[in-house]
Amino acid sequence: MALYQTGILDEIPSSARYLTFSHIPGTDPSKPLKRLAKLAEGHALVVGLGRSLVLFLGGDISALKNFPVHVSAGIEVPSTPVALWCWLRGEERGDLVLRTNALCDLLADAFECHSLIDAFKHGDGRDLSGYEDGTENPTGDDAVQVAFVQGQGPGMDGSSFVAVQTWVHDLSRFDTMTSEQQDNTIGRRKNDNEELNDAPLSAHVKRTAQEDFSPEAFLLRRSMPWADATNEGLQFVAFDGSFVSFEAQLKRMVGEDDGVVDGLFKFTRPITGNYFWCPPMCEGSLDLTAVNV
């Protein structure tokens, strides 16, 4: 039986919901979390705990830091801490609606829903800009090495750290760019996904080229497009055994390394920023011993 939440490694589902929950002051979260631990079988629901909840429970997960704020000319990368994160994965929207209701009921003694994002797979795994997302993700054993904690003992091994950001796209703005400008923004060609050798330094894949960091900065990205009645964008989700790689990449994206800002900021911006610790699994349930539950 897997030691980790298998949904982290599994293919992106055709539909999903990303829910966050606030901890209701004065309530004891232990019982609802025990119920959640049983419900989360790994694949259809991936769970992450925020730093405020881990601290409240007296857990000692030192790598779980606060999400970093970045502010530079015209760029804002916010940090929006929250207690609990649930990624409901499914193939059918009605099923997700019913599972959302059941999840909210199960947690209601100590948690209230803070945000809900409806996400979906677009085409063969594309961002709404039309570009394939996830091409350079590690696979197989490499993905396991990148995404999960190892060598820290029971309760921690098999856990993962996830960075989550809701990005809001301005697709009308993106559509005003020529296809060459769009390709240079990403650093790949939209029509065949080929990487552009002569892409500008601001191209997204130049900013984030995982092998160009020292040490190399690999992430397991599991982002999904999202939309509501008025907006749309990408729910950026990246798993790692710590936040070191994510932070190195984010710094380079906002221009802190060399003053060059990622071309993505020309048409999209993050409105949330969160770090969560995703507990390991033990005998088919979440193992919450590291947080005393």
Using CB under 6 A, list all residues that contact ligand HEM. Answer: 127, 129, 131-136, 165, 167, 186, 188, 204-205, 208-210, 219, 234, 236, 246, 249-250, 253, 264, 268
Nearer to ligand HEM, 23 or 204 (CB): 204
CA–CA distance, 90 with 15 (Å, rounded to integer)? 5
**Tokens matching residue 277:** 């610790």
Nearer to ligand HEM, 261 or 293 (CB): 261
CA–CA distance, 256 with 77 (Å, rounded to integer)? 12
Q: How far is the CB of 281 from ligand HEM (least distance, A)?
A: 26
Q: How far is the CB of 235 from ligand HEM (least distance, A)?
A: 9
Q: What is the DSSP letter of 35?
A: H
Contact criterion met (CB below 8 Å) for 239 and 7: no
Q: What is the DSSP letter of 257?
A: T
Residue whose entry in the numeric block shows the structure tokens 């939209």:
190
Q: How far is the CB of 79 from ligand HEM (least distance, A)?
A: 13
Q: What is the secondary structure of 176-226 as a DSSP string? A: HS-HHHHHHHHTB-TTT-PBPTT--TTSHHHHS-GGGSSS----EE--EEE
Q: How far is the CB of 113 from ligand HEM (least distance, A)?
A: 24
Nearer to ligand HEM, 19 or 205 (CB): 205
Q: How far is the CB of 259 from ligand HEM (least distance, A)?
A: 18
Nearer to ligand HEM, 165 or 184 (CB): 165
Nearer to ligand HEM, 22 or 223 (CB): 223
Residue whose entry in the numeric block shows the structure tokens 């694949």:
43
Q: How far is the CB of 135 from ligand HEM (least distance, A)?
A: 4
CA–CA distance, 143 with 248 (Å, rounded to integer)? 19
Residues forming beta bridges with residue 111, ordered by sequence position: 23
CA–CA distance, 12 with 17 (Å, rounded to integer)? 12
Nearer to ligand HEM, 50 or 187 (CB): 187
Q: How far is the CB of 242 from ligand HEM (least distance, A)?
A: 14
Nearer to ligand HEM, 42 or 273 (CB): 273
3-state secondary structure of 132: strand
Neighbours of 85 (CB within 10 A): 25
Nearer to ligand HEM, 254 or 286 (CB): 254
**Helix residue spans in the chain (DSSP H):** 30-39, 51-56, 93-107, 140-147, 171-176, 179-186, 204-207, 244-253
Length of the chain, in residues:
293
Q: How far is the CB of 125 from ligand HEM (least distance, A)?
A: 9
